[in-house]
Structure 1
Amino acid sequence: MGLTTARLRNRYRRLRLGRRGLSPLARANLAALDGLDRRAPLDECSFVVLDLETTGVDLARDGVVSAGAVRLRGGRVLLGQYFDEMILPQGEVPASSITIHGLTPQRLAAGRPLAQVFDDLAGFIGADIVVAHNAGFDLHFIDRHMRAHHGLALQNLALCTLRLCRALLLPSDPFGVGRHKGQCRLDAIAERFGLDTPQRHTAIGDALVTALIFQRMLAMMEERGQARLGRLIALGQAPR
Structure 2
Amino acid sequence: MKLWQAKLLNQATRARMAGRRLPEEARANLAVLDGLNGRASALAQRFVVVDLETTGLDHTKDRVVSVGAFRVVEGRIRLGEVFSELANPGRGIPVESIKVHGITPDNIRDARPAWEVFRNFLNYLGRDIVVAHYARFDMFFLNRVMRAQYGMRLQNLVMDTVLMCRAALIEPDPYGQKKGAKRCSLDALAARYGLEVPERHTALGDAMATALILQRLLPELSEAGWKTLGDLVQVAGVQ
Letter of the structure 2 residue corresponding to residue 219 of structure 1: P
Tell me the residue number matched to 1:197: 197
Q: CA deviation at 1:172?
A: 2.2
Tell me the residue number matched to 2:131: 131
Q: CA deviation at 1:225?
A: 4.7
Tell me the residue number matched to 1:31: 31
> Does the alignment pair 1:171 with 2:191?
no
Q: CA deviation at 1:180?
A: 1.9
Q: Is the 8 A contact 2:46 2:73 kept in 1?
A: yes
Letter of the structure 2 residue corresponding to residue 44 of structure 1: A
Letter of the structure 2 residue corresponding to residue 191 of structure 1: A
Q: Deviations over 1:109-145 (max 9, x none)?
A: 2422111101111111111000000101101111111
- Quick one: percent identity of the two aligned structures? 47
Q: CA deviation at 1:176?
A: 1.3
Letter of the structure 1 residue corresponding to residue 230 of structure 2: G
Q: CA deviation at 1:44?
A: 2.5
Gaps of 5+ in 1: none
Partners of 2:9 and 2:76 in 1: how far apart? Answer: 31
Q: Which moved more, 1:59-68 or 1:219-228?
A: 219-228
Paired positions, count: 239
After superposition, where does 1:19-58 map in structure 2 within 5 Å?
19-58=19-58
Partners of 1:138 and 1:35 in 2: how far apart? Answer: 26
Q: Deviations over 1:8-67 (max 9, x none)?
A: 111111112212111111100000111211101123210000000011111111111000
Q: Which moved more, 1:128-137 or 1:102-111?
A: 102-111
Tell me the residue number matched to 2:212: 212
SS at match of 1:98: helix
Q: Is the 8 A contact 2:164 2:221 kept in 1?
A: no
Tell me the residue number matched to 1:148: 148
Letter of the structure 1 residue corresponding to residue 94 of structure 2: P
Letter of the structure 2 residue corresponding to residue 157 of structure 1: L
SS at match of 2:100: helix
SS at match of 2:48: strand
Tell me the residue number matched to 2:71: 71
Letter of the structure 1 residue corresponding to residue 121 of structure 2: L
Q: CA deviation at 1:226?
A: 3.0
Q: Is the 8 A contact 1:86 1:110 kept in 2?
A: no
Q: CA deviation at 1:152?
A: 1.0
Partners of 2:72 and 2:180 in 1: how far apart? Answer: 28
Q: Is the 8 A contact 1:49 1:131 kept in 2?
A: yes
Letter of the structure 2 residue corresponding to residue 108 of structure 1: I
Partners of 1:77 and 1:226 in 2: how far apart? Answer: 21
